[in-house]
């Protein structure tokens, strides 16, 4: 094993452009702008960019850390834990919405885009957070929620006043049809996507809650307002945006009924507006191109095949998007079905096939809209939680794409044991109860069983900092959402002190990714797509290659490598150092290993 590592190291030294590009990203990390500077090209044709080798950590402010004892997380709380985030080794923080909001959908309903939510603090607190992030050589991206606003936003307050109000055309208003809404469009939070407004006897469109009216992007004034908001925050020094449901902004002309083939999957219809790419290119030209920023579009309803249309660098739209194929693999239209490993592999293979060297994308399996990573894709039982959480970290941090980690997943936090609908805060869960249980479509038991698997609130319970009351999240008697009762065993303090913790494994894996260009940019090859339990793949660039082997099962398994391939030095394993094995790997339950590939005398770089 040791000899192989020497061979590999020698190859890296030969590989000049890999090193040059590392130096380039180091200098940018130190705060130098990338605008106008040349970008180096890697040997497999990819351009090196800071946002490609970034590891992003998502903070959901309401649930991260409460500084003033009101039970609600806030910006000062985040600032007080920046050392924790930095220690993990991540390079970018994505902050879920921190803007002024009446919180119908936890900040995804914005009342004032230029103000900080009072519960989260002040603009001074925001500036201090940004400064603290920069001081630690990290970057900050904000959540840009501009498909819709809050109904309490000034524009909407004006818009609903009269048909000739100057803001009327900022939103989408229509007369009803036959005593009902203008068409059959449905909201993601149950029921019609139209709400009748008695002031003017018309309906307004809302893809989400009725307190989230959709903006009319076909009105150039609306687009200019959005660009103004973006510049306001970029001029403060933020490093980019995650753009909420951005492919929904262009509406289908004439607002026709969606065809029945879209029943239960309207997201694929809402992404078909004809001006979407034109608007993204305009946004890029007017705003993004003027800054060194990172953009990631949340692309619910966009297929992997359509992805290059958004992210091919020659189109000047976005840097990457979130497709939902992997994260929602276990669900169909909100119903939990379970999932199979070959189907997950097929998604990563398709992503790799559909995107060439001009395109880039994300790797993520969790966020604030989905259940906990280890509960959904690993095994959160006492026996396997730690190993499977580490295995998932290994995978997410060794696949091609910018890696996204959601707060608490680095601790292996789990789903919450919900028993009653009153334990939920999420508007999606509550509206669904009215629409699906009170109408008799599902029994309460069925609905709750499904929510335990799928609810967004699983991921929104407070961050578990230590084993004191409320997991150290708040000094209030009660946090805004219940703390998971497993906090005495699963918390940051305990894990930071335990070298074998999930947290310390994330640190190691992030460090390995950061120093290993092959794990970021390397060509991807799945060695055994049909294998139901083992996920094995290589990442190779130039003559350096890594092998990742993951046992996605609670049983021991033997994996025999293809004859052309030999495992070299074991870089990292989630169950510690394994026996020296080069071609027959004996894996324990949920074991994950990252090897250097032993040098092949033939010089083959594909296996
Ligand atoms: O989510 C978009 C989205 O469509 C889904 O993730 C949604 O939450 C739901 O699960 C559909 O089944 C974004 C935000 O991430 C989410 O928190 C917001 O509620 C939503 O947009 C509206 O802004
Ligand atoms: Ca607070």
Per residue in 458-486, pLDDT (tens digit) is: 999 999 999 999 999 999 999 999 999 99
Strands (E), 42-201: 55-59, 92-95, 99-100, 112-116, 139-144, 173-174, 194-197
Tell me what the mean pLDDT of segment 343-368 comes to.
Answer: 98
What's the rounded mean pLDDT across residues 422-438? 98
Backbone angles phi and psi of 277, in degrees to 5:
-70, -30
Please say if 298 is a catalytic residue.
yes
Which DSSP category does 344 fall into? Answer: H
How far, in Å, is the centroid of ligand 1 from the Cα of 189?
9
For ligand 1, atom 23, the nearest C-alpha belongs to 108
Of all protein residues, whose CA lies closest to atom 14 belonging to ligand 1?
244
How far does the centroid of ligand 1 lie from the alpha carbon of residue 136, in Å?
Answer: 31
Strand, coil or helix: what is 592?
strand
Residue 529 is predicted with a pLDDT of: 98
Mean pLDDT of 444-461: 98
Chain-centroid distance of CA 453 in Å reads: 18
For 563-599, the pLDDT digits (tens) are 999 999 999 999 987 678 999 999 999 999 999 999 7
Shortest-distance Cα residue to atom 4 of ligand 1: 300
Please write the tens of the pLDDT for every residue from 104-159. Answer: 999 999 999 999 999 999 999 999 999 999 999 999 999 999 999 999 999 999 99
Say yes or no to pLDDT of 300 above 70. Answer: yes
> What does the alpha-carbon distance between residue 249 and residue 269 come to, in Å, rounded to a whole number?
12
* 372, 459 contact by CB (below 8 A): yes
CA distance 495 to 504: 7
**Measured distance between the N- and C-terminal CA atoms of the chain, rounded to whole angstroms:** 19
Give the side-chain half-sphere CA count within 13 A for 308.
Answer: 12
Residues with CB under 6 A from ligand 1: 105, 108, 145, 188, 208, 244-245, 298, 300, 334, 368-369, 428
- Cα angle 348, 353, 356 (rounded to 5 degrees) comes to 115
Nearest CA to ligand 1 atom 2: 245
| Its pTM surpasses 0.85 | yes
- How much is the pLDDT for 602? 53
- In ligand 1, the atom with minimum distance to the C-alpha of 208 is 22
Q: Ligand 2 centroid vs 114 CA: distance in angstroms?
A: 20
Among 143, 298, 352, 436, which one carries the catalytic annotation? 298
Tell me the CA–centroid distance for residue 300 and ligand 1, in Å: 8
Helical (H) or strand (E) element with 335:
strand 335-336
CA-based radius of gyration for the chain: 24
Tokens of 92: 């970018």
Q: What is the pLDDT of residues 260-275, one digit of tens each?
A: 999 999 999 999 999 9
Active site residue 244: yes
User: CA torsion sign, 93 to 98 to 104 to 109?
Assistant: negative
What is the structure's pLDDT at 84? 98
- From the CA of 211, which ligand is nearest? 1
**Distance, CA of 407 to CA of 57 (rounded, Å):** 7
CA 92 to chain centre: 12
Ligand 1: centre distance to CA 369 (Å): 6
- pLDDT at position 3 is 31
Closest residue by Cα to atom 18, ligand 1, is: 108
């Amino acid at each position: 094993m040791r000899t192989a590592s020497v061979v590999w190291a020698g190859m890296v030294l030969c590989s000049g452009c890999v090193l040059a590009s590392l130096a380039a990203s180091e200098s940018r990390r130190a705060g130098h702008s990338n605008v106008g500077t040349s970008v180096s090209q890697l040997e497999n044709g990819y351009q090196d960019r800071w946002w490609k080798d970034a590891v992003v950590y998502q903070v959901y402010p309401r649930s991260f850390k409460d500084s003033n004892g009101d039970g609600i997380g806030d910006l000062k709380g985040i600032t007080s834990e920046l050392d924790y985030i930095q220690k993990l080794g991540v390079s970018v923080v994505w902050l879920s919405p921190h803007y002024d909001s009446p919180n119908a959908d936890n900040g995804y309903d914005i009342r004032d885009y230029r103000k900080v939510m009072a519960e989260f603090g002040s603009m001074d607190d925001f500036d201090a957070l940004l400064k603290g992030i920069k001081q630690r050589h990290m970057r900050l991206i904000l959540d840009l929620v501009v498909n819709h606003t809050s109904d309490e936003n000034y524009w909407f307050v004006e818009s609903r006043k009269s048909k000739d109000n100057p803001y009327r055309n900022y939103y989408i208003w229509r007369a009803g049809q036959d005593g009902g809404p203008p068409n059959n469009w449905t909201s993601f939070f149950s029921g019609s996507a139209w709400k009748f407004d008695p002031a003017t006897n018309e309906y307004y469109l809302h893809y989400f809650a009725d307190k989230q009216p959709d903006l009319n992007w076909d009105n150039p004034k609306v687009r200019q307002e959005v660009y103004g908001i973006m510049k306001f925050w970029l001029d403060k020094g933020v490093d980019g945006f995650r753009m909420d449901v951005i492919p929904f902004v262009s509406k289908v002309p004439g607002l026709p009924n969606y065809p029945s083939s879209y029943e239960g999957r309207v997201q694929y219809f809402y992404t078909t507006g004809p001006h979407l790419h034109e608007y993204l290119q305009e946004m890029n030209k007017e705003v993004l191109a003027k800054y060194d920023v990172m953009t990631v579009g949340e692309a619910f309803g966009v297929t992997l095949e359509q992805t290059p249309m958004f992210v091919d660098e020659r189109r000047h739209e976005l840097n990457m998007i979130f497709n939902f194929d992997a994260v929602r693999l276990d669900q169909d239209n909100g119903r939990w079905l379970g999932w199979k490993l070959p189907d997950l592999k097929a998604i990563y293979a398709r992503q790799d096939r559909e995107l060439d060297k001009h395109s880039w994308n994300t790797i993520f399996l969790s966020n604030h809209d989905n259940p906990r990573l280890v509960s959904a894709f690993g095994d959160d039982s006492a026996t396997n939680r730690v190993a499977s959480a580490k295995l998932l970290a290994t995978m997410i941090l060794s696949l091609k794409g910018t890696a996204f980690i959601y707060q608490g997943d680095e601790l292996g936090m789990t789903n919450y044991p919900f028993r009653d609908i009153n334990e939920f805060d999420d508007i999606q869960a509550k509206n669904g109860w009215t629409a699906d249980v009170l109408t008799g479509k599902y029994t309460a038991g069925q609905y709750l069983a499904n929510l335990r698997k799928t609810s967004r609130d699983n991921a929104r319970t407070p961050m578990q900092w230590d084993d004191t009351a409320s997991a150290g999240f708040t000094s209030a008697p009660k946090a805004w959402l219940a703390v998971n009762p497993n906090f005495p065993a699963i918390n940051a303090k305990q894990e930071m002190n335990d070298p074998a913790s999930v947290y310390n494994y994330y640190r190691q894996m992030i460090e390995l990714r950061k120093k290993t260009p092959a794990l970021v940019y390397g060509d991807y090859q799945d060695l055994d797509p049909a294998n139901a339990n083992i996920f094995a793949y290589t990442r190779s660039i130039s003559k350096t290659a890594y092998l990742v082997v993951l046992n996605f099962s609670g049983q021991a398994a033997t994996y025999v490598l293809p004859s052309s391939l030999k495992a070299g030095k074991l870089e990292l394993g989630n169950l510690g150092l394994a026996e020296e094995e080069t071609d027959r790997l004996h894996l324990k339950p949920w074991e994950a290993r990252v090897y250097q590939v032993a040098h092949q005398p033939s010089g083959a770089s594909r296996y």
